[in-house]
């Protein structure tokens, strides 16, 4: 299927469309009248809709995004069914939908919100998530849940991942309805899962029980031009007993008493901290030893950024990297690697912290691809396996390390699991049996989770239609379907794809501090989603 909305206006720069178009003033009814068949004689419904969205959508999208961002929907802190913030966002979305003549329902105790338009079996489904990753205030320049626009960018937790894209789709639906358009081949759904950043159970149950699925499912939670394949998500957890403090310290040693790195499983650590006490060293010599180790590592890796300070008898070592989404770990700088490298040059007393940092040095430091672990492999379409140690904590007498991997096709689950078994055995041997894999528990908190890769039909009507839209709007005739390492809800629906919101060459900020999205990109996403809506759901079926 080829898109029928061949409108030259799609190639106009967004900045030209935002010069305060007078037609966008007033009520929705008055505004839509200025783009009616009577007002724009000779133009098709598709052309009028495209012009309406281009001229008037962005302000609506920004305002709606701001409203959504103000809900602190951090699912890892409180699951959807128990979260008052997610419940409040649901009430907001219900009021928004009912006010525009759209259906709304909450499924599974606020696990999923579904907005609907039209009758019959579902034809088109747009999939998003309403939850966000944590936003530690100390990492942000301004409060993360108080959105604002500055220098052509909208800032706030969730503006890119995934509340801005959700607002784009909702505004596109509302504006189509305002013009008197309607679904011609079946119902249109906007499906909002609220556990994508933590626990997918609710959305998984929705996908398993709410049948039939829409003929076409589009997730707007990844990259352009069209994402037709996703790597499998892997959560792997290691731990070591902290161990008892020796009655008599060994002369000349330092004792690691605490260690932290990272904020959550899907983000490369931007900072890592090791707290040390002089076990068999005088405090001043302990401080000097740490500074000497930092200097030595600094000669080996000039990019090292480290701070050393003394608090009472303790020496606090902090390394700084660059936090990025774990799916693009090679674009960041893992602060845990540097921390482990400095620790390797210190005379540490043997315990669980020392053992885990040794494991990081031997099997992870400097290696994004699992070569040191012995698990590396790659696929022609989907690329290389990615390995990122992301969260290190001491809790209840144990030192835990969370590792996020993104695996391509090429090894089935049984073979891949066997490779992890072998890697766990190597780590145990490296550390004299102290570092072990956690068995059982939730992914990211304990236990192992190995997800399967997802691949759509790259020659089917959904991929070809969306690719055609992207090529024309971005003037990129050579664009091709892509694969990503990120995992989105698209994988829960057969043959589904991702379509934006991140453009090639742009830095993705979705899981990073000071998350933001450019207004131009937000506008472009709205216009392309609107055309996808029109082409796939509002156009009469071909005879």
Predicted confidence (pLDDT) per residue in 368-400, tens digit: 999 999 999 999 889 999 999 999 999 999 999
Quick count: other Cβ atoms within 10 Å of Cβ 17? 20
Tell me the pLDDT band of 442, cut-offs 50, 70 and 90: low
| 250 vs 27, higher pLDDT | 27
Q: Is residue 394 part of a domain?
A: yes
Q: Is residue 336 part of a domain?
A: yes
Is 282 in the same domain as 316?
Answer: yes
Share of residues in the chain with pLDDT > 90 (%): 85
Q: Is residue 8 part of a domain?
A: no
- Tokens 């609107």, residue? 530
Is 429 in the same domain as 463?
Answer: no
Q: Is residue 13 part of a domain?
A: no
Tell me the pLDDT band of 247, cut-offs 50, 70 and 90: confident
Q: Is residue 5 part of a domain?
A: no
Spell out the residues 6+ positions from residue 207 whose beta carbon is closer than 8 angstroms to its own.
213, 489, 492, 493
Is 458 in the same domain as 361?
Answer: no
Instruction: Decide: 154 and 90 in contact? Cβ < 8 Å.
Output: no
Instruction: Decide: 270 and 331 in contact? Cβ < 8 Å.
Output: no
Is 477 in the same domain as 341?
Answer: no
Q: Is the dihedral of CA 390, 393, 395, 401 positive or negative?
A: positive
Domain final residue, candidates 450, 481, 497: 450
Is 123 in the same domain as 195?
Answer: yes
Question: How far is 491 from 231, CA to CA, in rounded Å?
Answer: 10
Is 110 in the same domain as 222?
Answer: yes
Domain CATH for 373: 3.30.70.360
What integer pLDDT is reported at residue 439 of this predicted model? 84
Tell me the pLDDT band of 212, cut-offs 50, 70 and 90: very high
Q: Is residue 286 part of a domain?
A: yes
Q: Is residue 35 part of a domain?
A: yes
Q: Is residue 16 part of a domain?
A: no
pTM over 0.75: no
The whole-chain average pLDDT of the chain stands at 93
Domain final residue, candidates 418, 450, 482: 450
Residue 353, classed as helix, strand or coil, is helix
Is 400 in the same domain as 465?
Answer: no
Is 144 in the same domain as 90?
Answer: yes
Domain final residue, candidates 419, 450, 481: 450
Is 292 in the same domain as 207?
Answer: no
Structural domain range at position 377: 233-450
Domain CATH for 476: 3.40.630.10
Tell me the pLDDT band of 445, cut-offs 50, 70 and 90: low
Q: Which DSSP symbol is given to 137?
A: G
CA angle at residue 250 from 246 to 253, to 5 degrees?
105
């Amino acid at each position: 299927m080829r898109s029928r909305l061949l409108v030259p206006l799609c190639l106009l720069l967004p900045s030209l469309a935002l010069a305060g178009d007078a037609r966008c003033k007033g009520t929705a009814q008055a505004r839509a009248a200025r783009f009616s068949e009577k007002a724009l004689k000779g133009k098709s419904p598709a052309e009028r809709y495209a012009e309406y969205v281009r001229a008037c959508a962005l302000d609506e999208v920004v305002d709606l995004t701001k409203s959504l961002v103000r809900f602190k929907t951090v699912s890892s802190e409180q699951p959807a069914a128990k979260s008052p913030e997610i419940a409040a966002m649901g009430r907001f979305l219900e009021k928004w939908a009912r006010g525009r003549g759209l259906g709304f329902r909450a499924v599974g105790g606020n696990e999923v919100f579904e907005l609907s338009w039209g009758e019959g079996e579902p034809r088109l489904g747009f999939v998003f998530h309403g939850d966000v990753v944590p936003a530690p205030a100390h990492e942000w320049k301004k409060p993360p849940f108080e959105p604002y626009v500055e220098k052509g960018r909208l800032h706030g937790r969730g503006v890119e991942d995934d509340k801005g894209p959700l607002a784009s789709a909702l505004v596109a639906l509302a504006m189509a309805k305002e013009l008197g358009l309607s679904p011609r081949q079946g119902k249109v759904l906007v499906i909002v899962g609220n556990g994508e950043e933590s626990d997918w159970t609710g959305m998984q149950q929705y996908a398993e029980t709410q049948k039939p699925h829409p003929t076409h499912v589009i997730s707007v939670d990844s990259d352009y031009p069209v994402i037709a394949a996703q790597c499998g998500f892997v959560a792997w957890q290691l731990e070591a007993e902290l161990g008892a403090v020796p009655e008599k310290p060994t002369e000349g040693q330092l004792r690691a008493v605490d260690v932290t790195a990272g904020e959550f499983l899907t983000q490369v650590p931007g900072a890592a901290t090791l707290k040390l006490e002089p076990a068999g060293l005088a405090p001043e010599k302990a401080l000097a030893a740490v500074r000497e180790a930092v200097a030595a590592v600094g000669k080996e890796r000039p990019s090292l950024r480290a701070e050393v300070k003394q608090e009472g008898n303790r020496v606090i070592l902090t390394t700084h990297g660059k936090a990025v989404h774990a799916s693009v770990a090679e674009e960041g700088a893992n602060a845990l690697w540097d921390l482990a490298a400095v620790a390797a040059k210190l005379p540490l007393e043997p315990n669980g912290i020392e053992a885990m940092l040794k494991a990081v040095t031997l099997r992870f430091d400097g290696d994004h691809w699992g070569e040191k672990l012995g698990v590396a492999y790659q696929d022609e379409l989907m690329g290389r396996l990615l390995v990122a140690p992301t969260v290190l904590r001491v809790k209840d007498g144990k030192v835990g390390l969370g590792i996020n991997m993104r695996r391509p096709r090429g090894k089935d689950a049984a073979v891949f699991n066997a490779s992890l078994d072998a890697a766990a055995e190597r780590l145990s041997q490296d550390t004299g049996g102290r570092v072990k894999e956690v068995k059982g528990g939730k992914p990211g908190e304990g236990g192992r989770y190995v997800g399967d890769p997802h691949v759509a039909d790259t020659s089917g009507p959904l991929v070809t239609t969306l690719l055609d839209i992207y090529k024309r709007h971005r003037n990129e005739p050579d664009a091709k379907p892509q694969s990503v390492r990120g995992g989105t809800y698209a994988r829960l629906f057969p043959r589904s794809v991702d379509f934006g919101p991140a453009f090639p060459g742009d830095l993705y900020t979705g899981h990073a501090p000071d998350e933001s999205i450019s207004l131009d990109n937000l506008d472009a996403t709205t216009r392309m989603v609107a055309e996808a809506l029109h082409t796939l759901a509002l156009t009469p079926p071909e005879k």
